[in-house]
Amino acid sequence: MNPVLIAPSLLAADLARLADAAAEVVAAGADTLHVDVMDGRFVPNLTFGPGTVAALRAATDAPLDVHLMIEAPERWIDAYADAGATGLTVHVEATPHVHRALRAVRDRGLEVGVALNPGTPLTALEPVLDLVDLVLLMSVDPGFGGQRYLPAVEGRLRAVRGWIAERGAATRVQVDGGIDATTAPRAVAAGADALVAGSAVFGATDGVAAALARLRQAVVSSIRPM
């Protein structure tokens, strides 16, 4: 089994000092930085663009896991690749051309991710499961940090983990939304091996290092499915 990766979501950081926030979580042992790109159409919020990703790339050597919550993401793959993203995750709901979008990510040599909203049937994943390095199952409807974890993701995590195990593949399964020291072990026990956490990390009153340690400690003891 893969070790569990922790990806702090910079959406919950102080946006006026993103580079400092990135450096702080990397120093505290974050495995990757999660960058939430929103276009005000696919989700009801606006956040970062390629310029922000390029600025982060210049500020840190850490992997940049870019979550594209934008319509027709195939239009923007080159821009985010040029900006220095390490991986790009696109939503199946955001394009009628999901293979084209995923192939564009692969062609740029980046890690390929596909994401599903909580209400999207898992059957939408089947046609593309063999084409991706990472499956992102949302545990909130995307658009904002600080929302409540939807436990129905756990059955979905189990199903996807089972499909990946049947294939003998190394595909990662990432969970995003409402992850903290209480929900993280549940998601990991259900099959997640990559955790996105925004407010639980940057909103912690005792600091990001303590928050990351709490998350790690919480998942160390969770029972991993085989």
Q: Where along the sequence are the contacts to Zn ion (CB under 5 A)?
A: 36, 67, 176
Report the residue from 53, 64, 134, 196 that binds ligand DX5 according to the rule CB under 6 A. Answer: 196
**Which residues are known catalytic residues?**
36, 176
153 binds, among ligand DX5, Zn ion, none (CB under 5 to 8 A by kind): none
In the bound state with Zn ion, the residue whose beta carbon lies nearer, of 24 and 176, is 176
What angle, rounded to 10 degrees, do the helices at 183-190 and 153-167 form?
30
Number of C-beta neighbours around residue 78 at 10 A: 13
In the bound state with Zn ion, the residue whose beta carbon lies nearer, of 143 and 165, is 143
Report the residue from 129, 147, 150, 213 that binds ligand DX5 according to the rule CB under 6 A. Answer: 147
The CA distance from 224 to 19, in Å, is 34
Q: 29 with 2: CB under 8 angstroms?
A: no
Smallest distance, ligand DX5 to C-beta of residue 196, A = 5
Cα–chain-centroid distance for residue 110? 15
DSSP assignment of 166-185: HHT---EEEEESS-STTHHH
176 binds ligand DX5, rule: CB under 6 A: yes
Residues in contact with ligand DX5 by the rule CB under 6 A: 9, 11-12, 34, 36, 67, 140, 142-147, 176-179, 196-200
